[in-house]
Structure 1
Amino acid sequence: MKNLLLLVLATLFITGCSSTAMIATNRELPQVYVDVNATHQVKNDVKITLITLSNYTDTPKAGQRATNIIEGVLLAKGYVVNTDIASNTNSLISAQTKAQQNGSNYFLTGGVSEWRYKTGIDGEPAVSLKLSLYKTNSRALVWSATGADSDWGTGSIGTTAQNLIEKMTTK
């Protein structure tokens, strides 16, 4: 009984120091791999133009940093990604134009609301992102997610952001 109590307390302590909050649309990201039957999958040619995320933080280049991580996560999931991290696209129309020029089916935009280490002894990393995926031909919203995550003081912003992005893009 004593061991069970210690296990419960340790679990509460560990989960209390790291937190994630997320909300997403009911729809999922377009599927890259579709099951045809129990033994075979077909890969869809899903092309996404990744627009550099807007930076609403005091941290320089937070939007570019987050965009770079998103690119890596999407590539690992099998998406074809076109990105130009150095460019500044500030409207849905210009993002749509860039996606059309790239021949993409979709374009992804968003913003970074938090990208910092919290003040205090531990200096925990904290990240907050909003991502939206639109159809290139109509600018119709396909998928959207907003999430925030923090980690232990030994964690980094990069790993915290990557874990958050993975959670946001996986239903």
Structure 2
Amino acid sequence: MLPLVNLTAHPQAGRAVGDILTTELYATGKFTILERTAIIERILDDETDLDFVMTSAVARRIGKDLGAGLVIFGSVSEYRYMRGIDQNPAAGMNLRMLDVDTGEILWAASSSRSSGWYRISLNQICQEACRDMVADLVATRVP
């Protein structure tokens, strides 16, 4: 899984959601996941700006360089507490699975969650969204 592009004002949203997503993918037992450090080192060695990992061409090139057959990449589009009396958490993410050999997108999903219940954390909203997206991926995975 490639680092998620952070499209939010929160400086660590991409990393936070990426870590949750990686954990959910690993928990299925159906994916081999490369260590995040190795992936980032490879990206930075190439001087590729992480904001461009969102394109399938860059994701494909990085996947080939890493020797991966499939890569998951995407972005975090919302990660915040909405202003108001209750400060409700809200999160949004967009993911794609790419076949590195063919360049074909095998799976794509978007999720946006918020809660009107102030006792639910932003992390919990992200966990629920990631868990649902991974369940969909496992249910529809082609290879």
Alignment CA distance shift 1:83-1:139 (3 Å) = farther
Instruction: Report the CA distance shift for 1:70/1:167 in structure 2 as closer, same or farther (over 3 A).
Output: same
Equivalent residue for 1:117? Answer: 81
* Unpaired segments ≥5 residues, structure 2: 44-49, 137-143
Aligned match of 2:112: 148
Instruction: Name the structure where strand makes up a greater proportion of residues.
Output: 1
Residues in 2 aligned to 1:66 and 1:99: alpha-carbon distance in whole angstroms: 20
Aligned to 2:123: 158
Scaled by the length of structure 2, the TM-score of the pair is: 0.78
1:92 Cα offset (Å): 2.5
Is 1:97 the equivalent of 2:61? yes
Question: Greater helix share, 1 or 2?
Answer: 2
- Find the aligned partners of 2:62 and 2:34 in 1 and give their Cα distance: 10
RMSD: 1.7
Residues 5-35 of structure 1, C-alpha deviation per residue, up to 9 Å, x if partnerless? Answer: xxxxxxxxxxxxxxxxxxxxxxxxxxxxxxx
Aligned to 1:71: 22
CA distance in 1, matches of 2:77, 2:35: 21
Which one-letter code corresponds to 2:9 in the other structure? D
Maintained 8 Å contact 1:52/1:89:
no
Supply the AA of the counterpart residue of 1:117. Answer: Y
Q: Paired residues, what number?
A: 122
Deviation at 1:97, TM superposition (A): 2.4
Match of 1:56 in 2: 7
Distance 1:141 1:64 in 2: 23
- Deviation, 1:77, is 0.8
* Alignment pair present for 1:170 and 2:121: no
How many angstroms apart in 2 are the aligned matches of 1:93 and 1:82? 20
**DSSP-derived class of the 2:33 partner:** strand
Q: Residue 15 of structure 1 aligns with which residue?
A: none
The letter for the 2-side match of 1:159 is Q
Relative distance call for 1:89 and 1:108 in structure 2 (3 A) is farther
| Deviation, structure 1 residue 168 | 1.5
